[in-house]
Amino acid sequence: MSITSKQKEELKRHQGPVTSVLFNEDHKKIVTSGYDGKVGSFEFETGIFSILGRHDHLVNKVVSSPFVDLVASCSSDYTIKIWDLKEGKLVRTLLGHSDDVEDFVFVDEKMGISTSRDKRIIIWDLENGSIKNIILGHEKDVLSIAYFGGKIITTGDDKTLRMWDVNTGELLNLWGPFDVETDTCAIDTLNNRAVLGCDDGVIRIISLATGEIIKEIEAHSSGIKKVAISPVNGDILSAAYDQKILLWDSHHFNLKLSFEGVNTKWERSLTFSPSGTYIVAGSFDGTVHIWDSHSGKYMKELGGENNNGNACFNEVSVEGDSFASVSDDGIIRAGNITSGEFTNEFIPASGRYLMNAVELFDGRVYAGAHNQKLHVFELEKSCCSSCSSNKDKCKEGQEILINEGPINTIKGIKIDDHTHMFIGCYSGAIVVTDRDGLKLKTINIHSGAVKSLAVNNNKNIGVSCSAAGELFSWDLNGVIIEKYLGHTAIINDVDIDPTGQLIASVSRDFTLKVFNIWTGKLISSFDLGNKSLKSVSFLSASEIIVGDYWGNVTIIDLNSETIIKSNTAKNGVSSIAVCSDEDHALLSSYDGRIYQVDQNLKVTKQLVKMNVE
């Protein structure tokens, strides 16, 4: 059964978030990379979109060569591709990494360097694609790289900034580990310094000559996801999860400019044009935004014509015969499981922002957005006068600012007949509210973003996992009961079995682990290949279903240790919700579909909101 609500059309934009952009002013093109696996470009004047090429998985970064007309794209398919921008063709694919490639830099016409979540820095011969050297030293994922004057600067999830000699691979200097994550780094060659954007909202400026931290700017109230340097005067651009884009003076470090806000921008993608005239950024809608760098005024969106975003589903939640879902386009969709139909859509009054979290609980839909807000809608509420003419969208509902960074996960339970919502946030906090979003308490036990949580009403216990690799259980007052050890990377999802005795967790370390919830003992560990795992749920007390970032779904029987596997989706399986009959589960996917599967992983229904091309 397939219900298609959007017919295929000529691509005018990416079919997923745009991760990075670069402005080639010679060709008047903005080259883009996307979570849809495409490397594309927009004509600056007309906004016409074309596809340069594709990867087998999402693309994390595009960078240009200052020496020749080449562009490199870094992908979670573990490769780097080199493209001839003028000819519009693939030149070479670089093979050697064993995990997501995060960044790349051209050293000259013959040499390039990449960083990866496999903890390695690889130096490449671009003429033949061979590996010249591998630099080891980072203890966790290596996220960013810059090159200048024979030196390499890298940052990683180990919270360090490192300087290396490009010829020998020798470590020349190390800063950190800092108390917070350093997600973004830029090199100011005009002033010989490194600029770090940190998760505590602080910009840290380091002299590359002396190694000293010469300035700390308290720039943002939430994590900084991008810093960039003006090629004209060294001014510092910063973008953070507080929704602000700011420009800082390169000499006095005072705030010079605040840019007009745009709901759909993706902070990680902001950058200057080579002339310093424009600020460009990708969006969660698959488009490109452009600002005037001198005035801060928003200019235009490329690819935005007749665009209501991409329904790349991030989570689905089930209650009885109803389901609710959230997606990159910021629209909450509800539907009926038996009929296999979407029946209603809700758009927050403040507008569309990316949503990662949804919980359907006690007849209400609770959704968490990128702008730090909790949205509450009555599932059966009739549409209001502000709805669209076809009466299928409702803008009524409550909005509550949680103010702990983007909301990643929401779960609800009843305590003494009173609804309690547990909300996991980017800041590491778990905020507890009543049914109307009134804050009751905040649980601060994690040092990294809360990725997922689960609660068991009968046992009065919750479990949560974080980007720091932490997995904790806690009582409903937030007191830690047990810590579970074994994962070696980000833990993406966790669930409690129906009896309240076991927990299952999945991680970027490619493993599913099962623990005794009360003792912390590791019961089982399953290595499920070399694809990062994203979602997990108990089908029963002895069966676990797992989804990965590549669209694969696996069921593991804990008693027999038998495994069945299916390639179900065309992109990552973002979440799994077990239906009330316990014989089926709903799988949400970034490919714009919700799949219903049975206990043999046979797809019994598909709900389609976007056709991926």
Asked if residue 243 has pLDDT above 90, the reply is yes
In whole angstroms, what separates CA 232 from the centre of its chain?
Answer: 31
Element (H, E) at 164: strand 161-165
Asked if residue 385 has pLDDT above 70, the reply is no
Mean pLDDT of 441-451: 96
Cβ atoms of 528 and 510 closer than 8 Å: yes
Phi, then psi, of 268 in degrees rounded to 5: -65, -15
Asked if residue 601 has pLDDT above 70, the reply is yes
Cβ atoms of 264 and 354 closer than 8 Å: yes
Q: Which residue carries 């795992």 as its tokens?
A: 533
Sheet holding 213-218, edge to edge: 182-188, 193-198, 202-207, 213-218
Asked if residue 262 has pLDDT above 70, the reply is yes
For residue 99, what are its two tokens? 């995990």
Alpha carbon distance 432, 243 (integer Å): 23
Asked if residue 78 has pLDDT above 60, the reply is yes
Helix (H, G, I), strand (E, B) or coil at 599: coil
pLDDT of residue 553: 98
Query: How far is the first Cα of the chain from the last one, in angstroms, to the nearest whole number?
Result: 20
Compute the 3-state secondary structure of the chain and give helix, strand, coil in percent, each to the nearest 5. Answer: 0, 55, 45
Helix (H, G, I), strand (E, B) or coil at 387: coil
Residues 269-299: tens digit of each pLDDT: 999 999 999 999 999 999 999 999 999 999 9
pLDDT confidence band for 381 (50 / 70 / 90): low
Asked if residue 388 has pLDDT above 70, the reply is no
Q: Which residue carries 């909450």 as its tokens?
A: 332
Element (H, E) at 240: strand 236-240
Q: Which residue carries 């359907």 as its tokens?
A: 360
Alpha carbon distance 579, 48 (integer Å): 43
Alpha carbon distance 567, 554 (integer Å): 9
pLDDT of residue 306: 80
Cβ atoms of 487 and 507 closer than 8 Å: yes
Residues 476-505: tens digit of each pLDDT: 999 999 999 999 999 999 999 999 999 999
Asked if residue 181 has pLDDT above 90, the reply is no
Mean pLDDT of 4-24: 77
Residues 492-539: tens digit of each pLDDT: 999 999 999 999 999 999 999 999 999 999 999 999 998 999 999 999
Across the chain, mean pLDDT equals 93
Domains of the chain: residue spans and CATH: 536-605 (2.40.10.480)
Asked if residue 242 has pLDDT above 90, the reply is yes
pLDDT of residue 23: 96
pLDDT confidence band for 580 (50 / 70 / 90): confident
pLDDT confidence band for 5 (50 / 70 / 90): very low
pLDDT of residue 383: 44
